[in-house]
């Protein structure tokens, strides 16, 4: 079911809640989260450990279903909570790109093959047919044109994360979701990664949502969401602590 809006909203949650059962007890990871993210924004979600920020990310990323509430994604504000679990992969493939803290590249594939991977089942035939060419373009975008035949074990952490970024962009998604993208990198490498992510919003008009502890990352954000005990604090401008 769509909930069309006239503004540029790309992600909207309404009364979003998630409860887990742990050791026979209910754990309220998220409670009544309402937020809106506009197209092309670089948004950071911050909070202490166990605050629910990763849970919020996984719900927006359609990796899990909420216990209550709604999530609307994309320009057409598609209500993804109405889509069956088995069909959510299409949303992830078409609308979302993921970047993980531990890179999560497939070890047996080369850099270019990792980037090609999401394009395998793309509904856009143009992408599917030109995947090798597109993969090369994306590796050039992240400044890794000479490493396409290297496997992840032959790449540094920073290089692996760049490949992961290129992979996240494979199907030209509206939304890039990054879970602690600089968590396993040194500050200099992390800064270069952040630079790339920032450019995605300014040059390519992608929306980037980052979960992080890193205040340097937060400093680059257009908007910052704070979560504590599963509840969203009022979003703050990036220069607020």
Partner 1 sequence: MLTLKRAFKNVLRRRFRTLLVSLVLALCVAVFVSTIAGVDASKAATTEIMRQYEASSQATIEETEQLMSAIQITGGMGRGMGMGMQPPVGSADNPITDNYINESVTDAISAMDGVVGMVGSLTYTVGANTTSSSSGGGFMMRFSYDYMIRGATINSSLDGGYDAALPVNITEGRNLQEGDDNAVVIGEDLKDYFNAGVGDTVTIEGTGFKVVGVYSSNRSSFEEPVGGETPGDFPGGGNAVFQMEDKDVYMSLTTAQNLLNLQGEVSQLTVYASDSSAVDDLVATIQSAYPDLMVFAYKDMQSGFGDRIIQQQQSIISTTEENLSSVESLGFSITLVSAIIGVLLIFGLMFYTVRERTKEIGTLKALGFSNTSIMRQFMIEGLYVGIIGGAIGLAIAAVASSLLGSWLLNTSETLGTSVSVSVTVGTMLLGLGIAAIAGALGSLYPAWRASRVSPMEALRND
Identify how many contiguous H helices and E strands the chain contains and give both numbers: 8, 10
Q: How far is the CB of 88 from partner 1 (least distance, A)?
A: 9
Nearer Cβ to partner 1 (38/213) = 213
Exposure class string for 89-122: b at 16+ Cβ within 10 A, else e: eebbbbbbbbbbbebebeeeebbbbbbbbbbeeb
Cα–Cα distance, 237 to 241 (Å, whole number) = 9
120 counts as binding partner 1 under rule CB under 8 A? yes
Determine which residue in the list 5, 68, 117, 196 makes contact with partner 1, applying CB under 8 A.
117
Give, for 187, the enclosing helix (H) or strand (E): helix 187-202
Determine which residue in the list 64, 172, 222, 229 makes contact with partner 1, applying CB under 8 A.
64
171 counts as binding partner 1 under rule CB under 8 A? yes
Residues β-bridged to residue 110: none
Q: Measured between alpha carbons, how far apart are the two ends of the chain, in Å? A: 38
Sites for partner 1 among residues 34-53 (CB under 8 A): none
Determine which residue in the list 121, 146, 195, 202 makes contact with partner 1, applying CB under 8 A.
121
The residue ranges that bind partner 1 (CB under 8 A) are 58, 61, 63-64, 86, 89-90, 92-94, 96, 98, 100, 102, 104, 106-109, 113, 116-118, 120-121, 167, 171, 179
């Amino acid at each position: 079911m769509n909930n069309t809006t006239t503004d540029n909203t790309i992600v909207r949650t309404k009364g979003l809640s998630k409860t887990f059962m742990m050791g026979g007890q209910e754990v309220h990871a998220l409670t009544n989260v309402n937020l809106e993210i506009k197209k092309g924004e670089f948004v950071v979600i911050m909070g202490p450990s166990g605050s629910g920020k990763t849970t919020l990310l996984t719900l927006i990323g359609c990796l899990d279903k909420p216990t209550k509430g709604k999530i609307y994604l994309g320009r057409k504000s598609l209500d993804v909570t109405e889509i069956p679990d088995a069909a959510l992969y299409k949303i992830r493939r078409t609308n979302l790109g993921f970047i993980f803290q531990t890179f999560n590249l497939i070890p047996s594939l080369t850099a270019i093959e990792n980037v090609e991977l999401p394009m395998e089942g793309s509904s856009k035939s143009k992408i599917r047919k030109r995947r090798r060419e597109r993969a090369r373009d994306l590796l050039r975008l992240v400044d890794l044109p000479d490493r396409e035949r290297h496997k992840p074990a032959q790449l540094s952490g920073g290089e692996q994360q760049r490949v992961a970024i290129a992979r996240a962009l494979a199907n030209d998604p509206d939304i890039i979701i990054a879970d602690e993208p600089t968590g396993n990198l040194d500050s200099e490498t992390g800064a270069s990664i952040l630079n790339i992510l920032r450019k995605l919003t300014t040059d390519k008009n992608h929306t980037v949502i980052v979960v992080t502890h890193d205040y340097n990352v937060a400093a680059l954000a257009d908007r910052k969401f704070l979560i504590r005990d599963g509840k969203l604090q009022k979003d703050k401008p990036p220069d607020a602590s």
